[in-house]
Structure 1
Amino acid sequence: MSAQTGSGSTPLGIEEVVGEVVIPPGVTGPDPLTMDVRSYAVAQPAGIVIIDTGMPGSEAGIAAAVEALGGSFADVRDIILTHLHQDHIGSLFAIADRAPLAAIYAGGPDSPDIQSPRRIRPIGEGNAIQDLGVFATPGHTPGHVSLFHEPTGTLFIGDAAASAQGDAVRGPEVFTADAGQAEESLARIAGLGPARILFAHGAEIESPADALGRLIGGPPSQG
């Protein structure tokens, strides 16, 4: 799905890739849980950026997203992994092989635990990859990062939050490494007042800054 956003600035070209992950019975409850999982191809000044590589087998969808931006894998310069979970890194080897010019990045504490075909460059608070500012948002994993395109107010939130039924929600507690850190991270990125949030799990929502405010003001998830 193609989307552009702009707040009086040059629109940001984004292509979304939607896949699916099935959580087996007994992990989050007695029944299996099917969740969408989203990766993004983003047009940037020095080349296309891929944010997360999805489940294994996602390379065809990511290739289509890159092509929809008018490029090819030869134009991909950066691959950013929001965190180390398999549904976000599953196609890393396939994408890295097809995009040999792309640098690979992940949050510092997560990067040693991610298998990669070439060196992962650790990133953290205050770094920037092209026009995307890096925010350390630990909690879901120790090295979880979110990415903010300040000119358009677009936040790529990874798994720091998800969306369901048109509102922002927390992810299942079983997948959260440190719930206290996760709450602190949510409060920090809510302070950015994003005009738009692109989730790794769940579709875009209206009034995302208000939704984050409601989320951090409510009770922690018991899921």
Structure 2
Amino acid sequence: MSEQSGEGGTHLPVEEVVREVVIPAGVAGAAELVMDVRCYAVAQPAGIVIIDTGLPGTEDGIAAAVEALGGTFADVRDIVLTHLHMDHVGSLFAVAERAPHAAIYAGGPDSMDIRAPRRVTPISEGAVIQDFGVLATPGHTKGHVSLFHEPTGTLFMGDAAGTESGEVIRGPEAFTADAALAEESLERIADLGPDRILFAHGAEVASPADALARMVGGPYRQG
């Protein structure tokens, strides 16, 4: 389990699920691209929150993460999808069917295009899901959202950025719907100054707010 402690002693119990995906040469750049895909289970006051469901076949890993938090799928109350790409919604059917009490959420512009076994509730800037505030961070997709746990300064960033070799990087431009809008979202997140950032692609980095600030304004990764 990974825990973040805030100044007031608040803890955020988090479990991550990591899988690897290989993107063939010519799709995101000239070279083959190997990426990890991360989704999360987080203990919250009213039940467990799952943030993204990863690639198809990730449901057993998510089940293990939920169990590591001391729960079962019956304790999952919310499934939040940062955006509609398959590496983030690929196990949605399997997870949602095993977690019948969970509401499903996604950013408004993305929600209508996500196939699910039950309604996907659209969310927007300012929505609150248990102790998480929703930030609209469009650019990677029109409806991309991030989640901010203010008591611990923890940001779940989705694909707004990733990491590589200890630094924050942008994702491949080929997968970014609107680069200018994505940059505005990055600048906004940088101004937020989170104490901890959990990414969908890449491990945590030291001093994430500083690492993000260094990246903002630099060139796109070419893959």
For Structure 1 versus Structure 2, the TM-score category normalised by the shorter chain is over 0.9
Superposition pairs for residues 17-36 of structure 1, below 5 Å? 17-36=17-36
Cα distance in 1 for partners of 2:30, 2:188 equals 34
| Contact 2:171 2:220 (C-alpha < 8 Å) held by counterparts | no
Secondary structure in 2 aligned to 1:217? coil
Q: Hey, what does 2:196 align to over in structure 1?
A: 196
Q: Hey, what does 1:47 align to over in structure 2?
A: 47
Q: CA deviation at 1:29?
A: 2.7
Q: Hey, what does 1:178 align to over in structure 2?
A: 178
Percent identical among aligned pairs is 73
| Contact 2:173 2:220 (C-alpha < 8 Å) held by counterparts | no
Residue 5 of structure 2 aligns with an amino acid whose one-letter code is G
Q: Hey, what does 2:62 align to over in structure 1?
A: 62
The answer to whether the aligner puts 1:117 opposite 2:117 as a matched pair is yes
| Contact 2:29 2:222 (C-alpha < 8 Å) held by counterparts | no
* Count of aligned positions: 222
Secondary structure in 2 aligned to 1:160? coil
Cα distance in 1 for partners of 2:122, 2:166 equals 33
Q: Which runs of 4+ in 1 moved over 6 A?
A: none
Q: CA deviation at 1:139?
A: 0.2
Q: Hey, what does 1:5 align to over in structure 2?
A: 4
Q: CA deviation at 1:221?
A: 3.7
Q: Hey, what does 1:93 align to over in structure 2?
A: 93
Cα distance in 1 for partners of 2:91, 2:189 equals 27
Q: CA deviation at 1:151?
A: 0.4
The answer to whether the aligner puts 1:218 opposite 2:218 as a matched pair is yes
| Contact 2:28 2:222 (C-alpha < 8 Å) held by counterparts | no
Cα distance in 2 for partners of 1:28, 1:111 equals 25
Residue 191 of structure 2 aligns with an amino acid whose one-letter code is G
Residue 63 of structure 2 aligns with an amino acid whose one-letter code is A
Q: CA deviation at 1:222?
A: 4.2
Q: CA deviation at 1:217?
A: 3.4
Secondary structure in 2 aligned to 1:197? strand
Tell me the TM-score normalised to structure 1 length. 0.97
Q: CA deviation at 1:220?
A: 3.8
How large is the RMSD of aligned CA atoms in angstroms? 1.0
Q: CA deviation at 1:34?
A: 1.5
Cα distance in 2 for partners of 1:86, 1:218 equals 27
Structure 2, unpaired ranges of 5+: none
| Contact 2:147 2:155 (C-alpha < 8 Å) held by counterparts | yes
Q: Hey, what does 1:148 align to over in structure 2?
A: 148
**Once the two structures are superposed, what CA deviation does each residue of 1:86-145 show, in whole Å capped at 9, x if it has no partner?**
000000000000000000000000011110100000001000100010000000000000
Q: CA deviation at 1:22?
A: 1.6
The answer to whether the aligner puts 1:76 opposite 2:81 as a matched pair is no
Residue 107 of structure 1 aligns with an amino acid whose one-letter code is G
| Contact 2:172 2:220 (C-alpha < 8 Å) held by counterparts | no
| Contact 2:83 2:106 (C-alpha < 8 Å) held by counterparts | yes
Secondary structure in 2 aligned to 1:184? helix
Cα distance in 2 for partners of 1:120, 1:16 equals 23
Cα distance in 1 for partners of 2:50, 2:186 equals 23
